[in-house]
Structure 1
Amino acid sequence: MNKLASRRAFLKGKVLRNDQNSIRPPGADAAEFLELCTQCDECREACPEDIIKFDTQGFPVVQLDAGPCTFCGDCANACPTGALNPEHIAYWPWRARVAATCLSMNGISCRVCQDICDHRAIRFQLQTGGRAEPVLDTDTCTGCGACASACPAGSVSFERHTPPTQEVAL
């Protein structure tokens, strides 16, 4: 019986759901992560950026507002169970999203997220009334979190991004 459906976990009040909104460490397979992870703490200890924390159920999550991820792979390489696979690090499904609480969107001059983004994925488009709205290029964004950790208003969050499928013309 797996962790998601164990009777013991249920009786302890630990009913687990496969939470698609939790940002798991790089290399995590969303379908198998909760089943394979033993909560051993090896990934957190291996993270040189110290951005891996634990959710309320004891599973590792990446807190990108605490600092950026360099995608070094140390967490996946330290994982003894295969819950984090080093071969899956290249696919990181998370992309930044800027909320309406953004200072610039509210007339306060701020471009911190644009300045910190090494990939130049965030630009600002001038609007009337002295405002500027952030424009995010999801194809360029790596989801590293540098913008989130630098944002003074905490307006950057992350959402799962699914790249559009390309049809092949015959």
Structure 2
Amino acid sequence: MGLAVESVSLSRRAFLRARSRTELNAPRRPPWALPEAAFVARCTRCDACVEACPTGVLRPAEGGYPVVDFSRAACSFCARCVEQCIPQALSPAAAAQPWALKAVIGQGCLALHGVECRVCGECCEGSAIRFRPRVGGVVLPVVDAEACTGCGACVGPCPTRAIAMESV
């Protein structure tokens, strides 16, 4: 009688970065949010951060906790949400950067299927998305991770929803 081996289906990227399943599945919290457990412990679900957000990228989600929804808007990193967070679930003292999110272009990208599209690059104020020419085909988008602020301006306008914001 042999031993049963349980198959683990973590992506190679997640494995190499040693992230837990909880962290991988955690909702996208507002900028400068405390780590998930501390955030949930402090957040009173008052919606002050959501109401203070000038771009509308924040919305209440399941359980009433705020999340970032890049399909609605981009984050300007104005920190108004932080200013309104009385329980300090959002705190710039916790991290110098608002979050560790960067744009990642997926397989649904039109350019990968031979269709000319530069919408993501046109929406990127930081010029983090550039287009690499290729022989016999349309230009391909490339994200400069150093230049990407993680604002998410490229996500909503993408006609195929091929761009995701991922933790780095």
Instruction: Give TM-score, length-normalised by structure 1.
Output: 0.78
Report how far residue 88 of structure 1 moved: 4.8
CA displacement, residues 149-170 of structure 1 (integer Å, 9 cap, x when unaligned)? 2212111111111xxxxxxxxx
Does structure 2 retain, via aligned residues, the 8 Å contact 1:23–1:61?
yes
Q: More deviation in 88-97 or 66-75? A: 88-97
* Equivalent position of 1:81 in the other structure: 87
Does structure 2 retain, via aligned residues, the 8 Å contact 1:26–1:89?
no
* Equivalent position of 1:100 in the other structure: 107
Report how far residue 19 of structure 1 moved: 6.0
* Equivalent position of 1:50 in the other structure: 56
Mark the CA change 1:90 to 1:20 in structure 2 (over 3 Å): closer, same or farther: farther
**Whole-angstrom distance in 2 between the partners of 1:154 and 1:96:** 12
What amino acid does structure 1 have at the position aligned with 2:45?
Answer: Q
User: How many equivalent pairs are there?
Assistant: 145
Determine if the alignment matches structure 1 residue 110 to structure 2 residue 117. Answer: yes
* Equivalent position of 1:60 in the other structure: 66
Listed as ranges, the gaps of 5+ residues in structure 2 are 1-21
* Equivalent position of 1:35 in the other structure: 41
Q: Helix, strand or coil for the counterpart of 1:34?
A: helix
What amino acid does structure 1 have at the position aligned with 2:80?
Answer: D
**Whole-angstrom distance in 2 between the partners of 1:39 and 1:126:** 47
**Whole-angstrom distance in 1 between the partners of 2:142 and 2:67:** 27
* Equivalent position of 2:152 in the other structure: 145
Report how far residue 126 of structure 1 moved: 2.4
**Whole-angstrom distance in 2 between the partners of 1:78 and 1:135:** 36
**Whole-angstrom distance in 2 between the partners of 1:29 and 1:101:** 32
* Equivalent position of 1:5 in the other structure: none
What amino acid does structure 2 have at the position aligned with 1:75?
Answer: C
Q: Helix, strand or coil for the counterpart of 2:140?
A: strand
Does structure 2 retain, via aligned residues, the 8 Å contact 1:20–1:30?
no
Report how far residue 73 of structure 1 moved: 0.5
CA displacement, residues 44-65 of structure 1 (integer Å, 9 cap, x when unaligned)? 0111111111222321101112
* Equivalent position of 2:138 in the other structure: 131
Determine if the alignment matches structure 1 residue 22 to structure 2 residue 27. Answer: yes
Identity of aligned residues (%): 39
**Whole-angstrom distance in 2 between the partners of 1:45 and 1:23:** 17
Q: More deviation in 55-64 or 128-137? A: 128-137
